[in-house]
Chain A
Amino acid sequence: MPVGIRGVGLCCALGVDAPASVATLLAGGGAPHRVTLEGLADSVEAAYFRIADGAPLFDPGRFERLIPPVVQAAVAEAGLSAAERRALPVYLGSSCFSIGLSESSYEAALRQGATDASPMPHCGYGYLSELARRAAGSEGPTFTYNTACTSAANALLGAIRALASGRYPHALVLGAELANRTTLTGFAGLQLLAERVRPFVAERNGIVLGEGIGAVLLSAEPGAGEYLLHGGASNCDGFSVTTANPDGESVAAALRQALDSTGTAEVRGIRAHGTATPTGDMAEALGLRKVFRELPAISVLKPYLGHTLGACGLTELVLYLGALRQGALPAAEPGTPDPQLEVQVLDRQAEARPGRYLLNHFGFGGNNTVLVLEKP
């Protein structure tokens, strides 16, 4: 049983709310900032899509300020009663959680010469979901997912299935990712950072990180939303802890499971994961070609807001949904086609027709997750 999207909220490099972000996306997007991490044995300088909130990038108070408006936008649009909000389960996906908060607290303790200064003073995964619960007025259960770049997509899938099973009438689903030093230096150490995001073209050479917070309010009530999420599929590829098998087999399996489990015959468009890494795009392209004789319209969003990692399942859903609502399929700057991939991303906006759309997500730990969205 599909569930309706009844409210959305978003804050990302494209704008501080969903309407502004979608407008900027469809107008051609923005540009990344530059981030420099000094004082390290190997300093890091990288392009970075940050939220323009005016705060220092590693300000530990940013989650507390940025999560509530995003959650409240989704809840307000849904028009839930206070009793419905109190019972809301919260599903949350993130890669970073409170790691940035721990970095700042530990650094401050060391600077002050505290004898009991310990790393990871803020341990566990509950901080963000508790902020979301409080902002929503919820006393319901939380389900916090940490599956790398598929975290928010898996949180969505978990919520969709829980609603479809009759566990809850409504659910709040959130993806949250903000800048922190562990992530920036970790990706720099993996040599995966690039200056520009160019998915599926010959010039692609890596990712540009970004931050974002996205939320949707899902409802199982009939007629609860025009746009529906039909579920999807999630699987695990044992090829490598850092990438899906470049032969595309596990990606194709996730796509087939998603199509089979949702009874999806015709696909109008795909919001590809499109990280622009050489092997990541190879796995996705070959997987798509194993499943589709003729590829549907392919859009990529990471050139506009960066890779928001564990939050991308929500940030990119809200952006793609916003574009579909305006009847447009987002486009990206063209590049030199890669003959090994044979995937052509839309290079000019196209009409978004009613029907089913796929959203792809792949991440470290072998996670592949595909979601199915329906435009009325």
Chain B
Amino acid sequence: MIRAIAASHYLHPVREDEALPSLDTALQPLCREHFRRIDRFIQLALLGSARCVAGHRLAVDCGLYLGSGLGPMSNNISTQEQLIRDHLTPKPFNFINTLGNSAGYYVAKNLGLSGPNLFISRRGASFQAALETALVDLECGTSRQALVGVVEEVTLPLAAHRRRQGLSVDTVVAEGSHWLLLETDAVTGHRLERRQALRHESEMLDVPAFHDSIAAAGVTENVSKGGEAVLADGWTLFHFRP
């Protein structure tokens, strides 16, 4: 029996002409050290993961499964701007942070984890892809705990952010960091059941990434409050029962 024993969610809709809120103050008490040269995507991952596991004992081999449809967009944008527009070689940490799994490295370092550390993407169903991968690993006995999250970052200006994703000019966009802590031998927590989805929806791949963040927020918020939650993609249905 696999159970979700903890959940956290951070969802911040970003309005026109609004600056992104600083995460420094919220992060400070959650980080075991002051991480330098990290970007907003890494900050969001640190924030959500640390909130999720607060008060829980983590196994050293707890697996980390980070999903994202877009990845570290603000860093990738500034790195490409410097290289293509300004003709400058990327700074080492800008280059390293273009990799999706750099965020997982800092989360693992912050939480003292040395198990599998994966960054997995599937556009608008990246949380589901990460969750499915974690479930397989738990069933295989790779570890008995898995920390599964999805992080989506909003970049400014919003017009360019929407244009990149093919969204209409009035689409509300949000940044988010939503996490679940799963355990195989827990006696309390939400039971996680998985079954094949009833209908096939391969077009799920075309759903904008932030929709996944909103779906994940619904799950993690419901699990946090003790409610029931269902998450589906085109192939699998995940059911969280209190």
A365 to B137, CA, bound (A): 20
B102 beta carbon closer than 8 Å to chain A:
yes
* B49 in contact (CB, < 8 A): no
User: With A141-B233, A236-B113 as given contacts, are A110 and B84 in contact (CB-CB < 8 Å)?
Assistant: yes
CB contact list, B73-91 vs A, under 8 A: 73, 76-81, 83-85, 87-91
List residues of B (99-154) whose CB comes within 8 Å of A's CBs: 99-102, 104-106, 108-109, 112-123, 129, 132-133, 136-137, 139-140, 142
Say whether A41 contacts B114, CB under 8 Å: no
Interface centre among A39, A253, A366 (most CB of B within 10 A): A366
B residues 201-221 in Cβ contact with A at 8 Å: 202, 205, 209
CB interface residues, A 14-63, toward B, < 8 Å? 39-42, 44
Task: Decide: A143 and B133 in contact? CB cutoff 8 A.
Answer: yes
- Which residues of A, 84-141, contact B by the 8 Å Cβ criterion? 95, 99, 102-103, 106-107, 110, 116, 118-121, 123-126, 130, 139-141
Alpha-carbon gap, A344 to B223, bound state (A)? 54
Q: Is the C-beta of B169 less than 8 angstroms from some C-beta in chain A?
A: no
Q: How many A-B residue pairs have CB under 8 A?
A: 204
**B164 part of interface (Cβ distance < 8 Å):** yes
Q: Which of B6-14, B19-27, B64-72 contacts A (4 or more CB under 8 A)?
A: B64-72
Contact A189 B95 (CB under 8 A): yes
Binds B, one of A75-83, A156-164, A285-293, A315-323: A156-164
* Interface contact B121-A366, CB-CB below 8 Å: no
The stretch among A2-10, A179-187, A346-354 that forms the contact with chain B is A179-187
Given the known A-B contacts A102-B80, A119-B80, are A126 and B102 also in contact in the complex, defined by CB atoms under 8 Å?
A: no
Can you name the residue of chain A whose Cβ is closest to the Cβ of B235?
A141
Report A140-168 CB contacts with B as 1/0, cut-off 8 Å: 11111111100000100010011011010
Known: A186-B90, A236-B115. A140 touches B164 (CB 8 A): no
The answer to whether A119 touches B89 (Cβ under 8 A) is: no
B96, CB-defined interface residue at 8 Å:
yes
Please determine whether A116 and B160 come into contact, CB atoms closer than 8 angstroms. Answer: yes
CA distance A181 to B77 in the complex (A): 14
Q: Does B242 contact A (CB under 8 A)?
A: no
> Is B184 close to A, CB under 8 A?
no
Q: Does B165 contact A (CB under 8 A)?
A: yes
Near B by CB (< 8 A), chain A positions 239-267 give: 241-242, 250, 253, 261
User: How far does the alpha carbon of A54 sit from the alpha carbon of B106 in the complex, in Å?
Assistant: 41
Q: Kindly state the separation between the CA atoms of A181 and B85 in the bound complex, as whole angstroms.
A: 13
Q: Are A120 and B80 in contact (CB under 8 A)?
A: yes
Is B98 interfacial (CB 8 A cutoff)?
A: yes
Q: Is the CB of B89 within 8 A of A238?
A: no
Cβ of A41 and Cβ of B87 under 8 Å apart?
A: yes
Interface residue ranges of A319-376 to B (CB < 8 Å) = 363-367
Q: Looking at chain A's contact residues, is the secondary structure mostly helix, strand, loop, or mixed?
A: mixed
Chain A residues within 8 Å of B61, by CB: 235
Contact B92 A120 (CB under 8 A): no
Choose one: A107, A130, A161, A363; the contact of B205 (CB below 8 Å). Answer: A130
Is residue B34 contacting chain A, with contact meaning CB distance below 8 A?
Answer: no
Q: Which residues of B contact A186 (CB under 8 A)?
A: 89-90, 92, 95-96, 98
Taking CB atoms, residues of chain A closer than 8 Å to B121 are 124-126, 144-146
Chain B residue nearest to A122 in the complex (CB)? B164
User: Are A182 and B233 in contact (CB-based, < 8 A)?
Assistant: no
Decide if B120 touches A144 in the complex (CB within 8 Å): yes
Say yes or no: is A224 at the interface (Cβ < 8 Å to chain B): no
Enumerate chain B residues within 8 angstroms of A189, measured Cβ to Cβ: 89-92, 95
Report the separation of the CA atoms of residues A118 and B234 in the bound assembly, to the nearest whole angstrom: 32
Task: From the candidates B117, B140, B200, B236, name the one contacting A139 in the complex (CB within 8 A).
Answer: B200
Instruction: Report yes or no: A145 in contact with B209, Cβ–Cβ below 8 A.
Output: no
Query: What's the Cα separation between A116 and B162 when bound, in Å?
Result: 12
In the assembled complex, the CB of A152 is this many whole angstroms from the nearest CB of chain B, namely 13
Knowing A41-B88, A182-B80, A189-B95, say if A123 contacts B102 (CB, 8 Å). Answer: no
Given known A141-B233, A143-B133, A146-B101, contact A182–B115 (CB-CB < 8 A): no
Q: Could you tell me the distance between the alpha carbons of A44 and B83 in the complex, rounded to whole angstroms?
A: 12
Contact call B77/A119, Cβ cutoff below 8 A: yes
Q: Are B137 and A146 in contact (CB under 8 A)?
A: no
Q: Is residue B57 contacting chain A, with contact meaning CB distance below 8 A?
A: no
Partner of A236, one of B104, B164, B202: B104
Determine which of A99, A142, A185 lies in contact with B89 in the assembled complex, contact meaning CB atoms within 8 Å: A185
CB neighbours of B199 from chain A (8 A): none
A126 touches B104 (CB 8 A): no
Given A124-B123, A126-B205, A253-B114, A158 and B101 contact (CB-CB distance below 8 Å): no
- Given A148-B101, A167-B136, A235-B116: A120 and B163 within 8 A (CB)? no
**Minimum CB–CB distance for A374 against chain B, Å:** 18
Chain B residues packing against A (C-beta within 8 Å): 61, 64, 69-71, 73, 76-81, 83-85, 87-92, 95-96, 98-102, 104-106, 108-109, 112-123, 129, 132-133, 136-137, 139-140, 142, 160, 163-165, 200, 202, 205, 209, 233-236
Sorted nearest first, the 4 A-B pairs with minimum C-beta distance are: A186-B95, A236-B117, A146-B100, A119-B80
Task: List 25 A-B residue pairs with CB atoms under 8 Å apart, sorted by A's residue number.
Answer: A40-B89, A106-B84, A119-B84, A119-B85, A120-B164, A123-B76, A124-B69, A126-B69, A141-B234, A141-B235, A143-B122, A143-B132, A144-B122, A145-B120, A146-B71, A154-B116, A181-B83, A182-B98, A185-B95, A186-B90, A189-B89, A237-B114, A364-B99, A364-B105, A367-B117
Other than the given A158-B133, A190-B95, 5 more pairs (CB < 8 A) read A141-B234, A146-B71, A185-B95, A186-B95, A238-B108
